[in-house]
Amino acid sequence: MRGPKAWAAAIAVGVVCTAAPAAGLGAPTQAQLERGIVDIEVSESGGGAAAGTGIVVGTDGVILTNNHVVKGSTRIRVRDVRTNRRWSAEVLGYDVTGDVAVLRITKRGVSIRTARLGNSAKVRVGDPVIAVGNANGSGGRAEVSHGVVSRLNRSINVEGALGEMERLTGVIQTTTPLAPGESGGPLYNAAGRVVGMTAAASFTVARGFAIPINRALAVVRQVRSGKDSATVHIGPTAFLGVRLVTGVSGGDGAVLAGVLAGSPAAEAGLRAGDTVTALDGTRVASGAGLAGLIGRHRPGDVVTVTWTDQTGATRSARVTLTTGPTA
């Protein structure tokens, strides 16, 4: 779903269940549902663009969204749905495996209301819910969809924008119909409290999937604490400067679709068609494996890249990673 203009969304794959019938809710009002909600506009490396939704969770302009909404971003803008005010935002940290990213408005002293947060531990099957978001990246008033919780603690396979497969666990399944661009938006309970963050959808059947808000807020707290972990990355992303061939997972390395001019990879002599086989002596089995290894580093780290060029020769070089797009 990437291109000149794309909408951030993950598509659920291989999910089978019988959805409960949708249920309408008389309250809260549209204005209440739009409180603390922002549209997210992303500029990507390579000139692309994407759109999604965010939930304001801090009066200091901290915003919660999906990692796949801002993945590969070089510039992020957010728009307050209620006031139409716009600001630039930066990534404070993210959890790739949990599909959670934490942003912050870069302008200090911004006055923005936070969303009304609930407790996802109290969610039960059959509860009425409302999903709100930036449907199809169109901006304007937020799209509102009604449904019920049909299953809890789901594990699903999701297909990302570039065809990569990832697995999300412990998600809330609902009957709310969703559109691309609503990723990162709130899932409300009947009281108008956020109990989940929309993460994926089945577009053939009215079925949505949301990350429990308690889990997402745990990532926010960890990012605010500044403590890295095996899953949570804090601060700017290290950058090698390669584009990967998608859909290749044969275990023989990361095949390069291209190398960005002026990047550390270009300076090392890497070219499109080369296959990266190791980073600092650790074997690379796939593009995802290479991205994961780079994600453990900081901008400024010096690493050894080993690759096989198109003649079959093995080469290696020391490179200094720079600051790049969000992983």
From the number of C-beta atoms within 10 Å of its C-beta (0-12, 13-18, 19+), residue 312 rates as: exposed
The pLDDT-based confidence of 17 (bands split at 50, 70, 90) is very low
Q: State the average pLDDT over residues 33-39.
A: 96
pLDDT reported for residue 5: 42
The pLDDT-based confidence of 246 (bands split at 50, 70, 90) is low
Residue 52 exposure: Cα atoms within 13 Å on the Cβ side: 34
Tell me which fold the domain 1-18+28-235 belongs to: Thrombin, subunit H (2.40.10)
Q: Bigger pLDDT: 235 or 208?
A: 208
pLDDT reported for residue 196: 98
pLDDT reading at 66 higher than 90 = yes
Q: State the average pLDDT over residues 300-317.
A: 94
Q: State the average pLDDT over residues 234-250.
A: 77
The pLDDT-based confidence of 83 (bands split at 50, 70, 90) is very high
Out of 23-27, 214-218, 322-326, pick the least confident.
23-27
pLDDT reported for residue 33: 95
Q: Residues 107-131: pLDDT tens digits?
A: 998 889 999 999 999 999 999 999 9
Catalytic residues: 68, 99, 183
Give the class (CATH, top level) of 236-324.
mainly beta
pLDDT reported for residue 41: 94
Q: State the average pLDDT over residues 69-97.
A: 91
Contacts of residue 27, Cβ cutoff 8 Å, sequence gap at least 6:
190, 192
Q: State the average pLDDT over residues 35-61.
A: 89
Domain ranges across the chain:
1-18+28-235, 236-324
Average pLDDT of every residue of the chain: 86
Q: Residues 159-202: pLDDT tens digits?
A: 765 555 778 999 999 999 998 899 999 999 999 999 999 999 88
pTM for the predicted model, two decimal places: 0.78
Residue that is written with structure tokens 């980073």 in the block: 279
From 102, 99, 115, select the one nearest 199 (Cα to Cα).
Answer: 99
pLDDT reported for residue 45: 64
Q: What is the dihedral of CA 235, 236, 239, 242, to 10 degrees?
A: 100
pLDDT reading at 304 higher than 50 = yes
Q: Residues 127-136: pLDDT tens digits?
A: 999 999 999 8
| Backbone dihedral angles phi then psi of residue 271, each to the nearest 5 degrees | -135, 160
% of the chain beyond a pLDDT of 70? 86
Which of 9-13, 195-199, 203-207 is modeled with the greatest confidence?
Answer: 195-199
Q: DSSP string covering 17-70, please?
A: --PPPP-----S-HHHHTTTEEEEEEEETTS-EEEEEEEE--TTSEEEE-HHHH
**Cβ contact 54:65 at 8 Å:** yes
Out of 114-123, 212-221, 234-243, 310-319, pick the least confident.
234-243
The pLDDT-based confidence of 24 (bands split at 50, 70, 90) is very low
